[in-house]
Amino acid sequence: MKQAFIIFVRSLFAYAALTLAVLAFWFGSIQFPTPGPQKLRLWEASAPLVVVDAGHGGHDGGAVANDLTEKNTALDLARRLKTHLEAKGVRVLMTRDKDEFLTLEKRAQIANDAKAAAFVSMHLNTSVEDANSIHGMETYFCAAKSLNTIRKIKESFQVPSNVTLQDLRGKQLAEVIQRITCQRVSAEDRGAKERSLTVVQTTTCPSVLVECGFMTHKKEATQLKEESYRDRLASGVAEGVCVFLKAQELQPKRGLQLTEPKSVTPPAQVTAQVTKN
Ligand SMILES: [Zn+2]
Protein backbone atom coordinates (compact mmCIF):
# COMPACT_ATOMS: atom_id res chain seq x y z
CA MET A 1 0.00 0.00 0.00
CA LYS A 2 2.80 2.37 1.02
CA GLN A 3 4.70 1.45 -2.17
CA ALA A 4 1.68 2.25 -4.30
CA PHE A 5 1.30 5.65 -2.61
CA ILE A 6 4.98 6.53 -3.26
CA ILE A 7 4.58 5.58 -6.95
CA PHE A 8 1.42 7.74 -7.13
CA VAL A 9 3.16 10.78 -5.60
CA ARG A 10 6.19 10.35 -7.87
CA SER A 11 4.04 10.12 -10.99
CA LEU A 12 2.14 13.22 -9.82
CA PHE A 13 5.41 15.19 -9.56
CA ALA A 14 6.55 13.85 -12.94
CA TYR A 15 3.27 14.94 -14.53
CA ALA A 16 3.49 18.41 -12.99
CA ALA A 17 7.10 18.79 -14.16
CA LEU A 18 6.14 17.73 -17.68
CA THR A 19 3.24 20.19 -17.75
CA LEU A 20 5.56 23.01 -16.62
CA ALA A 21 8.11 22.09 -19.29
CA VAL A 22 5.44 22.14 -22.01
CA LEU A 23 4.12 25.49 -20.79
CA ALA A 24 7.64 26.97 -20.66
CA PHE A 25 8.28 25.80 -24.21
CA TRP A 26 4.95 27.14 -25.41
CA PHE A 27 5.45 30.57 -23.82
CA GLY A 28 9.03 30.61 -25.04
CA SER A 29 7.91 30.14 -28.60
CA ILE A 30 5.37 32.96 -28.36
CA GLN A 31 6.58 36.32 -29.60
CA PHE A 32 5.34 38.93 -27.18
CA PRO A 33 5.10 42.39 -28.75
CA THR A 34 8.01 44.50 -27.55
CA PRO A 35 6.80 47.75 -25.99
CA GLY A 36 7.40 50.58 -28.47
CA PRO A 37 7.44 54.28 -27.69
CA GLN A 38 4.10 54.89 -26.03
CA LYS A 39 2.08 57.79 -27.36
CA LEU A 40 1.18 60.00 -24.45
CA ARG A 41 -2.55 60.23 -24.26
CA LEU A 42 -3.25 63.61 -22.74
CA TRP A 43 -6.81 64.20 -23.81
CA GLU A 44 -9.58 61.63 -23.64
CA ALA A 45 -11.55 62.84 -26.63
CA SER A 46 -10.12 65.09 -29.34
CA ALA A 47 -7.45 67.66 -28.45
CA PRO A 48 -9.03 70.93 -27.30
CA LEU A 49 -8.57 74.09 -29.37
CA VAL A 50 -7.28 77.23 -27.69
CA VAL A 51 -7.41 80.62 -29.40
CA VAL A 52 -4.33 82.66 -28.50
CA ASP A 53 -4.60 86.40 -29.03
CA ALA A 54 -1.64 88.77 -29.16
CA GLY A 55 -2.95 92.15 -28.01
CA HIS A 56 -2.86 95.22 -30.27
CA GLY A 57 -0.97 95.16 -33.61
CA GLY A 58 -0.55 97.23 -36.79
CA HIS A 59 -1.27 100.93 -36.22
CA ASP A 60 -2.31 100.08 -32.63
CA GLY A 61 1.02 99.65 -30.89
CA GLY A 62 -0.43 99.48 -27.39
CA ALA A 63 1.65 100.98 -24.62
CA VAL A 64 5.30 101.96 -24.95
CA ALA A 65 7.72 102.12 -22.01
CA ASN A 66 11.35 101.33 -21.20
CA ASP A 67 12.12 100.47 -24.85
CA LEU A 68 9.29 97.95 -24.97
CA THR A 69 6.35 98.19 -27.37
CA GLU A 70 3.34 96.25 -26.17
CA LYS A 71 2.24 94.86 -29.56
CA ASN A 72 5.67 93.26 -30.17
CA THR A 73 6.18 91.77 -26.70
CA ALA A 74 2.57 90.52 -26.69
CA LEU A 75 3.12 88.77 -30.04
CA ASP A 76 6.34 87.16 -28.81
CA LEU A 77 4.58 85.91 -25.66
CA ALA A 78 1.60 84.66 -27.70
CA ARG A 79 3.91 82.69 -30.03
CA ARG A 80 5.67 81.13 -27.04
CA LEU A 81 2.32 80.30 -25.47
CA LYS A 82 1.34 78.54 -28.72
CA THR A 83 4.55 76.47 -28.67
CA HIS A 84 4.04 75.41 -25.04
CA LEU A 85 0.37 74.57 -25.56
CA GLU A 86 1.12 72.50 -28.66
CA ALA A 87 3.80 70.61 -26.71
CA LYS A 88 0.99 69.61 -24.33
CA GLY A 89 -1.12 68.27 -27.19
CA VAL A 90 -3.44 71.28 -27.44
CA ARG A 91 -4.44 72.67 -30.86
CA VAL A 92 -3.83 76.41 -31.20
CA LEU A 93 -5.30 79.10 -33.41
CA MET A 94 -3.67 82.55 -33.31
CA THR A 95 -5.82 85.63 -33.94
CA ARG A 96 -2.73 87.26 -35.43
CA ASP A 97 0.74 85.90 -36.09
CA LYS A 98 2.17 89.09 -37.58
CA ASP A 99 2.10 92.80 -37.01
CA GLU A 100 -1.45 93.51 -38.11
CA PHE A 101 -4.47 95.30 -36.70
CA LEU A 102 -7.59 93.41 -35.70
CA THR A 103 -10.66 94.85 -34.02
CA LEU A 104 -11.58 93.49 -30.59
CA GLU A 105 -14.86 92.16 -32.01
CA LYS A 106 -12.97 90.27 -34.72
CA ARG A 107 -10.71 88.61 -32.12
CA ALA A 108 -13.71 87.38 -30.14
CA GLN A 109 -15.45 86.29 -33.34
CA ILE A 110 -12.46 84.12 -34.30
CA ALA A 111 -12.79 82.25 -30.98
CA ASN A 112 -16.58 81.94 -31.32
CA ASP A 113 -16.44 80.72 -34.92
CA ALA A 114 -13.74 78.16 -34.07
CA LYS A 115 -15.81 76.91 -31.10
CA ALA A 116 -12.66 77.21 -29.00
CA ALA A 117 -12.30 75.53 -25.62
CA ALA A 118 -10.58 78.64 -24.26
CA PHE A 119 -9.45 82.11 -25.34
CA VAL A 120 -6.30 83.72 -23.97
CA SER A 121 -5.34 87.29 -24.82
CA MET A 122 -1.78 88.38 -24.03
CA HIS A 123 -1.10 91.99 -23.02
CA LEU A 124 1.33 94.10 -21.01
CA ASN A 125 0.49 96.59 -18.33
CA THR A 126 1.51 100.16 -17.57
CA SER A 127 1.14 102.47 -14.62
CA VAL A 128 1.57 106.16 -15.17
CA GLU A 129 1.22 107.37 -11.57
CA ASP A 130 3.26 104.73 -9.79
CA ALA A 131 5.70 103.44 -12.37
CA ASN A 132 8.46 102.71 -9.86
CA SER A 133 6.43 100.68 -7.39
CA ILE A 134 3.67 98.88 -9.33
CA HIS A 135 4.67 95.54 -10.84
CA GLY A 136 3.35 92.01 -11.21
CA MET A 137 0.77 90.06 -13.15
CA GLU A 138 -3.00 90.34 -13.23
CA THR A 139 -5.59 88.46 -15.29
CA TYR A 140 -8.99 89.75 -16.30
CA PHE A 141 -12.16 87.74 -16.80
CA CYS A 142 -15.79 88.65 -17.31
CA ALA A 143 -18.57 86.91 -15.40
CA ALA A 144 -21.19 89.37 -16.68
CA LYS A 145 -21.13 88.29 -20.32
CA SER A 146 -23.22 90.14 -22.89
CA LEU A 147 -26.82 88.93 -23.25
CA ASN A 148 -26.17 87.58 -26.72
CA THR A 149 -23.15 85.64 -25.44
CA ILE A 150 -25.15 84.19 -22.53
CA ARG A 151 -27.82 83.09 -25.01
CA LYS A 152 -25.20 81.26 -27.12
CA ILE A 153 -23.67 79.58 -24.03
CA LYS A 154 -27.13 78.44 -22.93
CA GLU A 155 -27.76 77.00 -26.38
CA SER A 156 -24.50 75.04 -26.43
CA PHE A 157 -25.15 73.54 -22.98
CA GLN A 158 -28.87 73.06 -23.63
CA VAL A 159 -29.81 75.27 -20.71
CA PRO A 160 -33.48 76.36 -20.82
CA SER A 161 -33.88 80.05 -21.64
CA ASN A 162 -35.74 80.79 -18.37
CA VAL A 163 -32.79 79.57 -16.27
CA THR A 164 -30.37 82.31 -15.15
CA LEU A 165 -26.77 81.54 -16.08
CA GLN A 166 -23.64 83.07 -14.64
CA ASP A 167 -20.38 82.09 -16.32
CA LEU A 168 -17.54 81.77 -13.80
CA ARG A 169 -15.32 79.63 -16.06
CA GLY A 170 -13.22 82.67 -17.01
CA LYS A 171 -12.69 83.42 -13.31
CA GLN A 172 -11.45 79.88 -12.69
CA LEU A 173 -9.18 80.04 -15.73
CA ALA A 174 -7.79 83.42 -14.61
CA GLU A 175 -7.12 82.15 -11.09
CA VAL A 176 -5.20 79.05 -12.16
CA ILE A 177 -3.13 81.04 -14.69
CA GLN A 178 -2.25 83.60 -12.01
CA ARG A 179 -1.32 80.97 -9.42
CA ILE A 180 0.94 78.89 -11.67
CA THR A 181 2.57 81.69 -13.68
CA CYS A 182 3.34 84.05 -10.80
CA GLN A 183 4.95 81.16 -8.95
CA ARG A 184 6.98 80.14 -12.00
CA VAL A 185 8.47 83.58 -12.70
CA SER A 186 8.32 84.87 -9.10
CA ALA A 187 6.11 87.77 -10.15
CA GLU A 188 3.79 89.58 -7.79
CA ASP A 189 0.31 88.07 -7.95
CA ARG A 190 -2.07 91.00 -8.40
CA GLY A 191 -4.96 88.58 -8.77
CA ALA A 192 -7.79 87.60 -11.08
CA LYS A 193 -10.00 90.62 -11.71
CA GLU A 194 -13.45 91.08 -13.16
CA ARG A 195 -13.48 93.53 -16.07
CA SER A 196 -15.96 93.94 -18.89
CA LEU A 197 -13.47 94.03 -21.76
CA THR A 198 -14.86 93.26 -25.22
CA VAL A 199 -12.66 90.21 -25.86
CA VAL A 200 -13.64 88.49 -22.61
CA GLN A 201 -17.24 89.72 -22.56
CA THR A 202 -18.26 88.55 -26.01
CA THR A 203 -16.44 85.20 -26.21
CA THR A 204 -18.67 82.20 -25.55
CA CYS A 205 -15.79 80.02 -24.31
CA PRO A 206 -13.92 80.54 -21.01
CA SER A 207 -11.77 83.56 -21.76
CA VAL A 208 -9.14 85.69 -20.09
CA LEU A 209 -6.89 88.64 -20.77
CA VAL A 210 -3.47 88.22 -19.17
CA GLU A 211 -1.53 91.35 -18.27
CA CYS A 212 1.92 89.76 -18.22
CA GLY A 213 3.75 92.48 -16.31
CA PHE A 214 4.33 96.22 -16.06
CA MET A 215 6.48 97.66 -18.84
CA THR A 216 6.67 100.89 -16.79
CA HIS A 217 8.45 99.13 -13.90
CA LYS A 218 12.20 99.20 -14.56
CA LYS A 219 13.04 95.78 -13.10
CA GLU A 220 10.03 94.04 -14.64
CA ALA A 221 10.74 95.67 -18.02
CA THR A 222 14.32 94.32 -17.87
CA GLN A 223 12.95 90.84 -17.12
CA LEU A 224 10.43 91.10 -19.97
CA LYS A 225 13.30 91.84 -22.34
CA GLU A 226 14.91 88.49 -21.41
CA GLU A 227 13.97 85.63 -23.69
CA SER A 228 14.20 83.04 -20.91
CA TYR A 229 11.84 85.05 -18.68
CA ARG A 230 9.25 85.42 -21.46
CA ASP A 231 9.51 81.72 -22.19
CA ARG A 232 9.01 80.69 -18.54
CA LEU A 233 6.10 83.11 -18.31
CA ALA A 234 4.44 81.64 -21.43
CA SER A 235 5.02 78.09 -20.14
CA GLY A 236 3.28 79.03 -16.89
CA VAL A 237 0.25 80.39 -18.75
CA ALA A 238 0.18 77.23 -20.91
CA GLU A 239 0.24 75.01 -17.85
CA GLY A 240 -2.54 77.02 -16.22
CA VAL A 241 -4.66 76.65 -19.37
CA CYS A 242 -4.05 72.87 -19.46
CA VAL A 243 -4.89 72.39 -15.77
CA PHE A 244 -8.13 74.27 -16.41
CA LEU A 245 -8.96 72.31 -19.58
CA LYS A 246 -8.32 68.97 -17.84
CA ALA A 247 -10.75 69.88 -15.05
CA GLN A 248 -13.23 71.07 -17.68
CA GLU A 249 -12.94 67.81 -19.60
CA LEU A 250 -13.91 65.86 -16.48
CA GLN A 251 -16.76 68.22 -15.65
CA PRO A 252 -17.87 70.25 -18.69
CA LYS A 253 -20.38 72.42 -16.78
CA ARG A 254 -17.84 73.35 -14.11
CA GLY A 255 -18.00 77.11 -13.50
CA LEU A 256 -21.47 77.57 -14.95
CA GLN A 257 -23.86 78.72 -12.24
CA LEU A 258 -27.45 77.93 -13.06
CA THR A 259 -30.38 79.35 -11.13
CA GLU A 260 -33.75 77.79 -11.75
CA PRO A 261 -36.66 80.23 -11.99
CA LYS A 262 -38.70 80.51 -8.84
CA SER A 263 -41.86 78.50 -9.25
CA VAL A 264 -44.96 80.66 -9.06
CA THR A 265 -47.32 79.10 -6.60
CA PRO A 266 -51.00 79.62 -7.34
CA PRO A 267 -52.86 81.63 -4.70
CA ALA A 268 -54.31 79.41 -2.01
CA GLN A 269 -57.92 78.57 -2.65
CA VAL A 270 -60.19 80.64 -0.51
CA THR A 271 -63.19 78.77 0.60
CA ALA A 272 -65.94 80.93 1.86
CA GLN A 273 -67.55 79.61 4.92
CA VAL A 274 -71.20 80.34 5.00
CA THR A 275 -72.65 80.33 8.40
CA LYS A 276 -76.26 79.58 8.43
CA ASN A 277 -78.27 81.38 10.97
ZN1 LIG B 1 -2.94 96.02 -24.02
**pLDDT tens for residues 15-70?**
555 455 444 444 444 444 444 444 456 787 789 999 999 999 999 999 999 999 99
- Using the mean position of ligand 1's atoms as its centre, give its distance from the Cα of residue 151 in Å: 28
Kindly give the distance from the C-alpha atom of residue 56 to the centroid of ligand 1, in angstroms, as a whole number. 6
How far, in Å, is the centroid of ligand 1 from the Cα of 261? 39
Averaged pLDDT, 90-106: 98
Q: What is the CA radius of gyration of the chain?
A: 31
At residue 15, the pLDDT reads 58
Q: Is the pLDDT of residue 184 over 60?
A: yes
**Distance in Å, CA 132 to ligand 1 centroid:** 19
**Domain spans, the chain:** 49-259
Q: How far is the CA of 123 from the centre of ligand 1 (A)?
A: 5
Return mean pLDDT, the chain. 87
Strand partners, 164: 259
CA of residue 130 to ligand 1 center, whole Å? 18
Give the containing element (helix H, strand E) for 32: none
Distance, CA 63 to ligand 1 centroid (Å)? 7
Q: Alpha carbon of 66 to those of 69, 80, 128, 131, 217: distances in Å?
A: 9, 22, 12, 11, 8
Express each pLDDT in 122-137 by its tens digit.
Answer: 999 999 888 899 999 9
So what's the pLDDT on residue 226?
A: 98
Q: Which residues pair with 139 in a beta bridge?
A: 192, 210
The whole-number pLDDT of residue 22 equals 41
How many whole angstroms from 122 Cα to the centroid of ligand 1? 8
| Distances, alpha carbon 28 to alpha carbons 16, 17, 191, in Å | 18, 16, 62
What pLDDT is recorded for position 212?
98
Share of the chain above pLDDT 90, in %: 74
pLDDT of residue 260: 87
Which of 142-146, 185-189, 261-265 holds the top average pLDDT?
A: 185-189
Q: Do 11 and 4 touch, CB atoms closer than 8 A?
A: no
Name residues whose C-beta falls within 8 Å of residue 225's C-beta, 6 or more positions apart in sequence.
67, 68
49-259 architecture in CATH?
Answer: 3-Layer(aba) Sandwich (3.40)
* Average pLDDT score over residue span 69-75: 98
Check residue 8 and give its pLDDT: 57
Give 268 or 273, the one with higher predicted confidence: 268
Q: SS3 of 187, please?
A: coil
Distance 163 CA to ligand 1 centre (A): 35
Which tens digits make up the pLDDT trace of 185-212? Answer: 999 999 999 999 999 999 999 999 999 9
Q: Label residue 150 by pLDDT band (50, 70, 90).
A: very high
**How far is ligand 1, taken at its centre, from the CA of residue 24, in Å?**
70
Please tell me the distance between residue 22's alpha carbon and the centre of ligand 1 in angstroms: 74
